[in-house]
Amino acid sequence: MNPNDEVRMKILQYFYDRNASSTSRFGKKGSAVKISDVKKELKSVHSLNQTQVHSNLTYLIGRKWVNTFDVQKIVHVKGGTIPSTVTWYEIAPQGIEKIEGDSEFKGEERYKGINITATGSNIIALGDGNVVNATFSALHSELNQLKQSVSESSNFTEKQKLDLAVDIESIKDQLAKDQPNKTVIQTLWAGIQIAVTAADMANLIHKITPFLSGLLT
């Protein structure tokens, strides 16, 4: 047995337990956690030092047992603003399955046979078989919410719901790339904007537009 496997299982179990007891994605009871808190809590619970945590967490991330994603925000300082990026860590679907066993809800991998890690991109594998570049993870999440809102709305016919869902999924597909095709996104988004605004749901468009910054110009 690899001597590091015991440490890796303790780390993975930590993320699993955190996810299982979470009430949100962020915050004190969030499924996602910053590295400083990971190191502090694993030291307290399992007496793991920073080297053990860092080296074995790197392995778990590389093997897709644990996901990372960045959240960017603007910090206001005297004289202006500066961008700030925080990296968050949370258990991946593969990590959950490692502990629980296989699930009948496990979807077919859309990119099966492709070594995503070898692309050199910071790719997050999602539980539905999709992948997304970490840079666009927040946008991907917002598009999922838009799709759900459209599907649950009585302002659209079933045909309109299907058309919008297909266009939203097409935009999400572009977000797996380092450089999404802006022309494709702009064309699809223009159609989505018209349809959703006409259905008196323009607030959904206004909410997502900031996340599309840089992709619509």
> How confident is the model over 31-65, as pLDDT tens digits?
999 999 999 999 999 999 999 999 999 999 988 89
Mean pLDDT of 163-172: 93
Which residue ranges make up each domain of the chain?
5-106, 137-212
Contacts of 167 (CB under 8 A, 6+ apart): 188, 191, 192
User: Long-range contacts made by residues 107-115, C-beta under 8 angstroms, separation at least 24?
Assistant: 111/176
Q: Select 5-106's CATH number: 1.10.10.10, 3.50.50.60, 1.10.150.130, 3.30.420.40.
A: 1.10.10.10
From start to end of 155-215, where are the E strands? Answer: none
Beta bridge partners of 89: 33, 68
Q: Check residue 109 and give its pLDDT.
A: 58
- Do the beta carbons of residue 8 and residue 56 sit within 8 Å? yes
CB neighbours of residue 120 within 10 Å: 8
> How confident is the model over 17-30, as pLDDT tens digits?
999 999 999 888 89
Average pLDDT value over all residues in the chain: 86
> How confident is the model over 196-215, as pLDDT tens digits?
999 888 898 998 988 888 88
Distance CA(135)–CA(197), nearest Å, equals 27
CA angle 96/107/160 to nearest 5° reads 125
Distance CA(207)–CA(146), nearest Å, equals 10
